[in-house]
A = this chain, B = another copy of it.
Amino acid sequence: MRGMSLRIALLGLLTAYGSASGYDLTKKFERSVAHVWQAGHSQIYPELAKMTADGLVTVEAEGARGRKIYSITPEGRAELRAWLVGHDPTGPARSEVALQAFLLPLLDPGEALDVLERLKAYMEQKQAELEALWAAKHASPVPEGTSGVKFGNLALDLGIRQTRTTLEWANDAMAQLERQA
């Protein structure tokens, strides 16, 4: 039961937004889950086929242009619930930003400052995107959601906080490097 996060993400989206096609789900990945997990259609289509074979989803209907509408089965719901409740969050730590941070002292301070400057710009842009998403969500009048919390908001909040933290770190690291130079 390793690395089945793509499966879980798909089951989650099918639960939250109701039935959808592979195409729809690909769009959801681009738009709503992108800050949390990424997957392209070339990964999603085969996975849906496997999940159908495993009985976690079914093809509810076939629409125009070969469109296949998937929906989650009780087995799928059980699988999702079991993962959410039982999954140990020991995900492999792999962050390119952190790796860059780790290796930064190998550069001389001037170059390191440049790298941090670029990182800062990237993070600021990301922050703006996330905050725009936040604003958009809070403007609309409760669209979808299972409990009182709007779907995806907790994750969005986490993302915004983490971006802010990275930004603060970059600023402090720059100040530290400037003191040395």
Write the residues of chain A forming the contact surface with B, with a CB cutoff of 8 angstroms: 5, 8-9, 12, 15-16, 33-38, 80-81, 84-85, 87-109, 111-112, 114-115, 118-119, 122, 145-155, 157-159, 161-162, 164-166, 168-169, 172-173, 176-177, 180
Contacts and interface: CB of A to CB of B under 8 A. Distances in A.
B36 A84 contact: no
Contacts of A101: 36, 154-155, 158
Given A161-B165, A180-B147, A100 B85 contact: no
A176 B158 CA distance: 14
A97 B105 contact: no
A8 B146 CA distance: 44
A155 B148 CA distance: 37
Nearest to A172: B157
A147 B99 CA distance: 17
Nearest to A155: B102
B173 A166 contact: no
30 contacts: A5-B96, A9-B103, A12-B103, A16-B103, A36-B102, A37-B95, A37-B98, A37-B99, A38-B92, A38-B94, A80-B103, A80-B106, A84-B103, A84-B115, A85-B107, A85-B115, A91-B95, A91-B96, A91-B97, A98-B155, A98-B158, A101-B155, A102-B155, A104-B154, A112-B147, A147-B180, A158-B166, A161-B165, A161-B168, A162-B166
A111 to B, nearest CB: 6
